[in-house]
């Protein structure tokens, strides 16, 4: 893989490198700060989301336009996709939390199961991709609180003529060197997947799919090349089709419990929402912390929550009260708490969460099979 560089900063949606310097990336790619849209949230009577307040959702493009349209009473939507290639983990939950936030604030939600991409890029079998798409992804999303009545779920291989027509039209609007400039090394699977993803993002603007002109796509910053491609394609089709450039929000990527990228393919450092409690517990208790070598040192110097992957779990998911989060942060910094007891505290939150979530999941699985049409092969 040879990710192409723009300036000094490389973004490659298929690379597994954790991305560190968000501010630099933002400047390079013209992403604006999330804080800039706060007045427009207020204008729409929307609270800031917990992840915005905590700096996890940190950037956006054109979200101001979407919120202005919403304030005028126009329909707005949020769309994202998941490749059904592994188990649903807390990194996925972060995106779903954002879908739920926008849904509760009047956005129509679209979720695409990227089974075509899973098949061609990840070599996942068809039956497996369909089962994982429904039982892992859709079911977990419903159990987390995404309202299935207000959400359209679909499979990439099972959508409809106008959607596929877009992919065909797009193919004439990009060059190989452009694809390479975005992705580094490309092959047919990646080209088709990129164009399919652009169709995912843009097709809901078509009357056939609801005519949603104002669409937000919440992504990790590593997925930004896809957003830029969709925006360019919207412009390039303008002779034949009026498409509005999609908006986007950007969130930090939660690290795995070893400090490296969180991924389904690294199950020891990734907590899945279906992990049996004793397994989740042992993963959490082994998490890389920002603690010191000895208890004495920790009491004297304090820990470093910024380096602690257990604190990430608190920050992203487990502690929904800001006061509680600050208390842990300050106790850690001030050396008032040691990692063992601190982990146990979070474990109790995680245990409760998993227990309640997994209870909802069984029902959600049955429902998931009913609300999406599975591809026939």
Interacting residues toward ligand SF4 by CB under 6 A: 289-291, 303, 305, 308, 310-311, 328, 332, 337, 339, 342-343
Specify which residues 59 forms β-bridges with. Answer: 33, 250
Instruction: State the nearest-atom distance from the C-beta of 201 to ligand TRP, in Å.
Output: 5
If contact means CB under 5 to 8 A according to the sort of partner, which of ligand SF4, ligand TRP, none does residue 109 touch? none
Q: Which helix (H) or strand (E) holds 275?
A: none
Which of ligand SF4, ligand TRP, none is residue 303 near (CB under 5 to 8 Å by kind)? ligand SF4
Closest distance to ligand TRP from the beta carbon of 83 (Å): 4
Residues 298, 291 contacting (CB under 8 angstroms): yes
- The whole-angstrom separation of Cα 191 and Cα 183 is 9
| Closest distance of CB 298 from ligand TRP, Å | 39
Within 8 A by CB and 6+ apart from 319, the residues are 325, 328, 346, 349
Cβ closest to ligand TRP, residue 133 vs residue 290: 133
Residue 116 Cβ vs ligand TRP, minimum distance, rounded to whole Å: 9
How many whole angstroms separate alpha carbon 368 and alpha carbon 24?
A: 40
Centre a 10 Å sphere on the Cβ of residue 328 and count the other Cβ atoms it contains.
22
Q: Name the token pair of 164.
A: 């596929």
Quick one: 99 or 280, whose CB is closer to ligand TRP?
Answer: 99
Contact criterion met (CB below 8 Å) for 101 and 58:
no
Supply the minimum distance, in Å, between the C-beta of residue 307 and ligand SF4.
Answer: 7
Question: Measured from the CB atom, is 13 or 305 closer to ligand SF4?
Answer: 305
Q: How far apart are CA 306 and CA 303, in angstroms?
A: 9
Q: How far apart are the first and last CA of the chain?
A: 32
Among ligand SF4, ligand TRP, none, residue 290 binds (CB under 5-8 Å by kind): ligand SF4
Among residues 35 and 297, whose Cβ is nearest to ligand SF4?
Answer: 297
Q: For residues 249 and 346, which CB has a smaller minimum distance to ligand TRP in the complex?
A: 249
Residue number, 80 or 120, with CB nearest to ligand TRP: 80
CB of 333 to ligand SF4, least distance (A): 8
What's the distance, CA 109 to chain centroid? Answer: 14
Give least dist CB 346 to ligand TRP, A.
28
The residue (of 66 and 342) whose beta carbon lies closer to ligand SF4 is 342
Instruction: Residue 200: name its binding partner from ligand SF4, ligand TRP, none (Cβ under 5 to 8 Å by kind).
Output: ligand TRP
Burial grade of 54 (CB within 10 A; 0-12, 13-18, 19 or more): middle
Question: Residues with Cβ < 8 Å from 308, sequence gap 6 or more?
Answer: 287, 288, 289, 290, 291, 332, 339
Q: Give the alpha-carbon dihedral of 203, 209, 215, 221, to 10 degrees.
A: -50
Q: Can you spell out the DSSP letters for 25-40? A: HHHHHTPEEGGGGHHH
- Which residue number is nearest to ligand TRP in terms of Cβ? 81
**Phi, psi for residue 261 in degrees, rounded to 5:** -65, 135
State in angstroms the smallest separation of the CB of 151 from ligand SF4: 35
Residue 308 binding partner per list ligand TRP, ligand SF4, none, with a CB distance cut-off of 5 to 8 Å that depends on partner kind: ligand SF4
Q: 217 or 318, CB closer to ligand TRP?
A: 217
Tokens of 3: 């990710």
Q: Which does 337 bind (CB under 5 to 8 A by kind): ligand SF4, ligand TRP, none?
A: ligand SF4
Residues forming the site for ligand TRP (CB under 6 A): 79-83, 112, 114, 117, 197, 200-201, 217
């Amino acid at each position: 893989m040879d990710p192409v560089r723009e300036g000094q900063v490389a973004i490659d949606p298929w690379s597994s490198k954790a991305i560190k310097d968000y501010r630099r990336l933002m400047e390079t790619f013209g992403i604006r700060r999330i804080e800039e849209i706060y007045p427009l949230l207020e204008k729409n009577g929307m609270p800031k989301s917990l992840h915005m307040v905590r700096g996890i959702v940190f950037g956006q493009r054109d979200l101001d336009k979407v919120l202005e349209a919403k304030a005028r009473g126009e329909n707005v939507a949020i769309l994202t996709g998941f490749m059904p290639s592994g188990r649903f983990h807390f990194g996925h939950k972060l995106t779903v939390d954002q879908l739920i936030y926008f849904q509760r604030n009047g956005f129509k939600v679209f979720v695409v199961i990227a089974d075509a991409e899973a098949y061609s890029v990840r070599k996942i079998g068809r039956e497996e991709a369909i089962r994982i798409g429904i039982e892992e992804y859709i079911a977990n999303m419903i159990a987390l609180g995404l309202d299935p009545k207000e959400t359209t779920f679909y499979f990439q291989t099972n959508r409809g003529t106008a959607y596929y027509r877009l992919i065909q039209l797009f193919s004439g609007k990009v060059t190989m060197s452009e694809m390479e400039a975005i992705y580094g090394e490309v092959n047919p699977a990646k080209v088709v997947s990129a164009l399919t993803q652009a169709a995912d993002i843009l097709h809901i603007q078509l009357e056939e799919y609801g005519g949603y002109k104002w669409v937000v796509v919440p992504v990790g910053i590593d997925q930004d090349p896809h957003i830029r491609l969709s925006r360019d394609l919207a412009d390039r089709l303008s002779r034949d089709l009026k498409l509005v450039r999609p908006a986007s929000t950007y969130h930090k990527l939660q690290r795995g419990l070893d400090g490296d990228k969180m991924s389904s393919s690294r199950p020891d450092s990734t907590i899945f929402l279906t992990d049996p409690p004793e397994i989740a517990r042992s993963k959490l208790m082994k998490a890389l912390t920002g603690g010191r070598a000895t208890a004495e040192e920790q009491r004297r110097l304090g820990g470093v929550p910024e380096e602690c992957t257990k604190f990430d779990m608190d920050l992203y998911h487990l502690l929904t009260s800001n006061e509680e989060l600050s208390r842990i942060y300050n106790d850690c910094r001030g050396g008032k708490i040691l990692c063992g007891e601190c982990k146990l505290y979070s474990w109790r939150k995680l245990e409760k969460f998993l227990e309640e979530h997994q209870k909802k999941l069984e029902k959600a699985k049955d429902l998931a099979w009913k609300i999406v049409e599975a591809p026939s092969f």
